[in-house]
Amino acid sequence: MDNYYRGLDFVSKFGDRIITHAVKRHLDHTKGEIKMAFFDCTNCYFETPYDDKTWQIIRYTRKRCSELQKAGLSNEDIDNWLESEEFENELKSHLDANEDLILRMRGKSKEGRFGQPIVTVALAIDQTGLPIDAKVFVGNLSEIRTLSVMLDSLKEKYQIKDIYFVADKGLNSTDNLREIGDRGLGFVVSQGVLNKNANFVSEMLDLKGYQGFEFDGLNFSVKEGEVDPERARFKVCDHEQSSYVPLNDGSLTLSGKPKKHKVTVKCKVAFVFNPTRRERELQDLKNQLTRAQLAVTNGELMGNPYSTGWRAFIQTKKDAAKNKNDKDQYRATGIKEDVYKKREELAGYSAIVFRHPDKLDKKEVLKDEQILGTYHKLVAIEDCFRVMKNTFSIRPMNVRIKSHIEGHCLICVLALMLIKSLQTRLAADGGKVLSAETISEALSSAMVVPDPTGEIFLNVNPRLKFALLEDLHKHKTAISEAEMEDQDKIWMNFMNRQESGPIDIDRILLAVGCTPISVASNRTDLRNNLKLRGYDDEVLFSPYISRYCSEMSRKVS
């Protein structure tokens, strides 16, 4: 266990260099290059009620109380000192000095873990799905503020200058888009269509300029001919996105608020209409309306107004009377029909804002339909997060120190890189594509068992079944003795399975340059098959196997 924790410290310290080296080796091997960077964030939780700041306060308070007790102060004197301004200033200085150690904090959890501290994990992958960078941020940091750090990191690692940066609408802020543009990079980012100005909505609903398209699950293609209003369509328009952001010099207004200046980003927007999406969103709207009508019937208190979800349809007494003093004014009284009709009108529409890199050759600039396909591939990064959470168990995290948390996350990212690299090699053999779960299961279940002498090893991989499922009787979990004695049948079943194609673990071994293991092998065969001839028995075989063989030999004799 001590070695494991030291390993986490090592990965945390040299993680950036390890990832950079691995990515460059992979690109050299595949003769590829980074053309796109897909970026997203997730968060991982800890099964503890205290965040790092709270823990620092608790530990520091305990330490100071212990020191005061040793100095001879009474409990009453200590309590009075803990409530003094002197202790408050001392504690603040301690927290400021150890701010870099704070990582686990409560924030906006994507898994609804609002009572537990979390950390934010930012991940970037290239156009092939290979992770190229990862960072761990404090749990209460907004996702929008992670982008600048990731851009700096990608530039330092790979000297990126003419790639497309792809992200969802959670990273779509005018300031972020401006920064990406200032670096000369391109971007493809989702844009919400609700709560946009009238000109934006009018342009989106206007059928003029739309083109039909088809999507085969991988690529978008333009469909020539007249546009059918009820079929999938898209159009691209010039777009200008503006907002007011705080000045970088930290200057304040007379009221003490940060001074702001207007930031404008010129780009393009692709409006997309999808009839399948419209049907799904209309059904969601009906469900939300039903929930809102129930709230009106029951006269529920709604609290503050909402802009999303079923609560956005609720009209309260406050909306009608404009009275802020009476709590009862927040009780639901009716449905905002205008809001519902607007949502109904916009159902099925989505938008993507994009910009081409400054230094990219015109021949390499993505076409409009390729922009749509590029954003659709963002789902690959969600698949990466799913694998890390479900297959690699990245959360809940059972480590506490900052370096151990970073090391744990980076090890999961490195494991993901191995899986993606292995999938690339497996795709070259022309067989079926293996998911990360299938690869992980095949590797973890690969097993050989020694005979009593310890010289012969039987391949007992669970996927290498000698009997077919139809040979099992219903409601029984074992094969009868009569069926087990039918050796010819068992052998034929096994041979038929072998002729139908290699099992998963065999394909994996072949992909990494090893040889599949036969049903029975000796030590020399195992060394040759797995290319482990340079290792001693003490390293190659666990001490458990040596003890097992000795015990079995004694029992046999």
pLDDT for the residue 344: 93
Mean pLDDT of the chain: 85
Global pTM value: 0.82
Least confident of 267-271, 383-387, 514-518, 553-557: 553-557
> What are the tens digits of pLDDT across the range 187-207?
999 998 988 889 999 999 999
If you average pLDDT over residues 346-372, what whole number do you get?
90
> pLDDT-derived band of residue 550, with 50, 70 and 90 as boundaries?
low
The percent of residues in the chain predicted with pLDDT above 90, rounded, is 46
The percent of residues in the chain predicted with pLDDT above 70, rounded, is 87
463 pLDDT above the threshold of 50 = no
442 pLDDT above the threshold of 90 = no
pLDDT for the residue 15: 92
> pLDDT-derived band of residue 472, with 50, 70 and 90 as boundaries?
very low
Burial code of 367-378, b = ≥16 C-beta within 10 A, e = fewer? ebbebbbbbbbb
pLDDT for the residue 455: 78
The letter for the amino acid at 148 is S
Output 133 or 436, whichever has higher pLDDT: 133
> pLDDT-derived band of residue 486, with 50, 70 and 90 as boundaries?
low
pLDDT for the residue 299: 86
Angle at 133 between CA 131 and CA 139, to 5 degrees: 110
Contact 163, 185 (CB under 8 A): yes
Output 66 or 255, whichever has higher pLDDT: 66
Interatomic CA distance for residues 22 and 467, integer angstroms: 42
Interatomic CA distance for residues 357 and 365, integer angstroms: 8
Q: What is the DSSP letter of 118?
A: E
Output 297 or 495, whichever has higher pLDDT: 297
pLDDT for the residue 474: 44
Closest residue by Cα to residue 130 from 383, 303, 460, 343: 383
Largest CA distance in the chain: 95
CA distances from 172 to 135, 161, 217, 421 (A): 19, 20, 25, 30
Output 13 or 554, whichever has higher pLDDT: 13
pLDDT for the residue 322: 53
477 pLDDT above the threshold of 60 = no
pLDDT for the residue 545: 67
384 pLDDT above the threshold of 70 = yes
Contact 390, 412 (CB under 8 A): no
> What are the tens digits of pLDDT across the range 56-94?
999 999 999 999 999 999 999 999 999 999 999 999 999
Interatomic CA distance for residues 176 and 39, integer angstroms: 13
Least confident of 166-180, 216-230, 472-486: 472-486
> What are the tens digits of pLDDT across the range 87-142?
999 999 999 999 999 999 999 888 888 889 999 999 999 998 999 999 999 999 99
Backbone dihedral angles phi then psi of residue 431, each to the nearest 5 degrees:
-80, -175
